[in-house]
Structure 1
């Protein structure tokens, strides 16, 4: 017998069925679980089939287990959010910003001119 999954485990599951409220999955220990529609993505999910398909193997996080029915509550978004957080931590956001050597000085110089143009247009 394979080892039982525990809450907090990140495992590969096979999607066995799709309903409007979520997707059913088969776990490695031959138990089953549900990925509720609210646990599929951090964005709005109109159709579960846009994210998973029957027969597909995906990585999910076990968020709870009902020990009386041996049903697991699974989360796809928990795995994706963790990946995204680590990717952002290593990106250097400053590379995208191109600073001018003069800073805001050119804007300060043009501001009176722009204000005058705005006043003239309003009076016309």
Structure 2
């Protein structure tokens, strides 16, 4: 008999597959679930493979359980992934430029106010 999972509960799950929209997982008692790409972290996630890999075991929080017992999970309350977000927040502006897109002089002028605001928030 499958274990009953409830909303808000933390459970260790094993990643069984990765798709562009999220990661499929299984609990130790073989209950299936999904960690949607939007539930990996609060930041924009372009590729789930940057954070999860097949066979990896992670602690996830149950968001909901559907009528078939499938779990809808999040990693946003997982301390490891919260730390990853904090690391991303502390990256320099130059790292952000390298990671995202190529800028010309016009784009630099447009992005400067955003960078100044980011720097001011970090100084608080």
Task: Give your verdict on TM over 0.5.
Answer: yes
Which has the larger Rg?
Answer: 1
Cα shift at 1:57 = 0.3
Cα root mean square deviation, aligned: 2.1
Q: Figure out how many residues of one structure are paired with residues of the other and give that number.
A: 83
Cα shift at 1:83 = 6.5
TM-score, normalised on structure 1? 0.60
TM-score, normalised on structure 2? 0.60
> What are the Cα deviations for residues 33-67 of structure 1, in whole angstroms up to 9, with x where unaligned?
00000000111101000000000000000010002
**C-alpha distance in 2, partners of 1:83/1:46?**
17
Aligned partners of 1:5 and 1:29 also within 8 Å: no
Task: Please show how residues 51-66 of structure 1 align to structure 2 within 5 Å.
Answer: 51-66=51-66
Aligned partners of 2:15 and 2:54 also within 8 Å: yes
1:27 lines up with 2:27 in the alignment: yes
Q: Which stretches in structure 2 are left out of the alignment for 5+ residues?
A: 84-124
